[in-house]
Structures are given as C-alpha cells and as structure tokens.
Amino acid sequence: MQAVILAGGMGSRLSEETTTRPKPLVEIAGRPIIWHLMKTLAAQGVSDFIILGGYKVSQIKEYFINYHLHNSDLSVNLKNGEVLTYDQPKEDWTVSIIDTGEHTATGGRLLRAKNLIKNYPFLFTYGDGLSDVRIGSILKSHLNSGLTATVTAVRPQGRFGNLSLSDSGDSQIVSKFDEKGDYLQSWINGGFFLLNESVFNHILNGDSTSFEYETLNELAKAGQLNAFCHNGFWHAMDTLRDKLELELMWKTTAPWKIW
C-alpha cells in the first residue's frame, strides 16, 4: 500500500514554529512529526510514501536527502571532507516529495500525485496527526463497504469537521460532511482515508479543490463515503499546546509508538 501525505500547508496556528519550517518538520522528542507518522505506518507494512509539499518544501526535501546524516552519529575528516556515519537508520522506505505549490488546496495537491499512485486503494492522510489506528482494520472496512472512499471517524478534540453517520448493514456510511459543525457531535474526520482510483472523479476544480469542503461532501452526497469508527488514540498537532501535549505523551506513554 502507498501512503500519500499532505504536507504543504503554512500551519499558521502554530506560527511559533512554522515561521522557520513547515509544520510536518516540527519536532516531537527531537524528531519531525511526519517521521513519527511514517514510523507508525511503516510498522504496519507501509514503505512507499508520497509527500505533498508546498510551504517550505525545500526543507522537507533536504531532510530526506540527508536522512542518514540527520539520524546517525558521524565523524568528519576536516582535511578531506570525508564523512563517516555510524548506527545508520534502517528504514526501508521509498519517499517521493512533490512540490504542489504553496497555495494549492488539499484536493488539488492530491490530484497532482495521481501519476505516482500505482496501487489502489491507497492511504491518504495529513502530516501533522498521530494515531494508533490500524490500517488493516480500515482496509477491511473499506473493502467490505465497496465504496469509493473510507474516512476514519474519531472522537472530537473540539475544532474539526463533523461526520453524520448512518447504518448500512455491516458498514457506516457518511450521509453528511460538515467541516464547521457542532463541536459536541460524536464523530469527526480523523484524517486517515483509504481511497479508490475513482476518487479523482470527485476532484472537479483542479488546484482550487478542497478535499474537505468539496470532495468529501460530493462523496457523501453520492453515498460513496464509508466511515471506519476508531475509538482509540488520535491527536492532531494544530497549535503549540498540541505540540507540548504530544511531547509530554512521548515522555510518559506515546500511544502512536507501535514500532
């Protein structure tokens, strides 16, 4: 399975960190949050990643180009410039990084990755959210539903779009997607999607297409949006407070650390 990760937004609500780097590179316990996400997915068999960059994408490219230098001890011979690395990381990953533009909407970013996606369904998620959700369980729900897309529904933190769910046999179907609904609703968009190739038929306005406001609503109206309900851990890093909470979790118990 391929994982496509949104990593192009400006992260303005975390400006204490994002004035100098893109939000996916903001660190939790000395490692970028996107590294934590990728390690969690890799522990479940995902090794092919497509990162959709935009804002300060060159820093994301540099991080992965120099991944061994960033994550190894090293010696430098200042006479000849030779660099030796020790205890190199053993990640068996292929990482593709696409510059999708600073101002491209989320659906437009996904559309730009279409030619790189070879395996369906594929995982689509955000580079600033962590969870202990099992991808195999989402996949089973997705395949059983027979629908175009599956969204992971999670319990709300208080500021994300609500999902209205209805029963359909063994599955839950999203009947309405409300990005700015009542915070007291039971379920919200947790940002781990499984998508079939036909999802691209619902990205109608090119770069300006919002995956959340337009594509998900179109899928819901067409009865093509399945929901996998996850009652476990999920936490997005939207503000400095979120970053500090995740830092504290790492020091005590980090539910997303399954590797």
* Shared-domain flag, residues 90 and 175: no
Tell whether 221 is covered by a domain. Answer: yes
* Shared-domain flag, residues 197 and 123: no
* Shared-domain flag, residues 78 and 158: no
* Shared-domain flag, residues 4 and 78: yes
Query: What is the per-residue burial (b if ≥16 Cβ within 10 Å, else e) of 159-191?
Result: ebbbbbbeeeeebbbbeebeeebeeeeebbbbb
Tell whether 256 is covered by a domain. Answer: yes
Tell whether 111 is covered by a domain. Answer: no
Side chain identity at 26, as an amino acid letter? V
As a whole number of angstroms, the distance between CA 160 and CA 176 comes to 14
Tell whether 184 is covered by a domain. Answer: yes
25 neighbors 60 (Cβ within 8 angstroms) = yes
Can you say how many angstroms the Cα of residue 192 is from the centroid of all Cα atoms in its chain? Answer: 7
Q: Looking at the 3D structure of the chain, how many domains does it have?
A: 2
Tell whether 110 is covered by a domain. Answer: no
Given this model, what pLDDT does residue 101 score?
A: 97
Tell whether 47 is covered by a domain. Answer: yes
- Return the closest-CA partner of residue 129 out of 216, 57, 37: 37
Beta partners for residue 76, in sequence order: 83
pLDDT digits (tens, 9 = 90+) for 102-151: 999 999 999 999 999 999 999 999 999 999 999 999 999 999 999 999 99
Given this model, what pLDDT does residue 254 score?
A: 96
* Shared-domain flag, residues 22 and 123: yes
* Shared-domain flag, residues 94 and 141: no
* Shared-domain flag, residues 4 and 123: yes
Given this model, what pLDDT does residue 170 score?
A: 65
Tell whether 112 is covered by a domain. Answer: no
Given this model, what pLDDT does residue 185 score?
A: 52
Given this model, what pLDDT does residue 194 score?
A: 98
Residue 31: CATH number of its domain: 3.90.550.10
Structural domain boundaries enclosing 196: 133-232
Helix (H) or strand (E) holding 35: helix 33-42
* Shared-domain flag, residues 186 and 171: yes
* Shared-domain flag, residues 123 and 141: no
Side chain identity at 258, as an amino acid letter? I
Given this model, what pLDDT does residue 157 score?
A: 67
Tell whether 200 is covered by a domain. Answer: yes
Side chain identity at 194, as an amino acid letter? L
DSSP class of 21: S
* Shared-domain flag, residues 172 and 206: yes
Token pair recorded at residue 147? 């629908």
* Shared-domain flag, residues 18 and 77: yes
Can you say how many angstroms the Cα of residue 187 is from the centroid of all Cα atoms in its chain? Answer: 18
Side chain identity at 137, as an amino acid letter? S
* Shared-domain flag, residues 62 and 177: no
pLDDT-flagged residues of the chain (< 70) = 157-164, 167-170, 176-185
As a whole number of angstroms, the distance between CA 85 and CA 251 comes to 27
Taken in order 89, 90, 91, 96, the sign of the CA dihedral is: positive
Given this model, what pLDDT does residue 186 score?
A: 74
pLDDT digits (tens, 9 = 90+) for 192-216: 999 999 999 999 999 999 999 999 9
Phi, psi of 138 (to 5 degrees): -65, -40
The length of the chain in residues reads: 259
Given this model, what pLDDT does residue 188 score?
A: 93
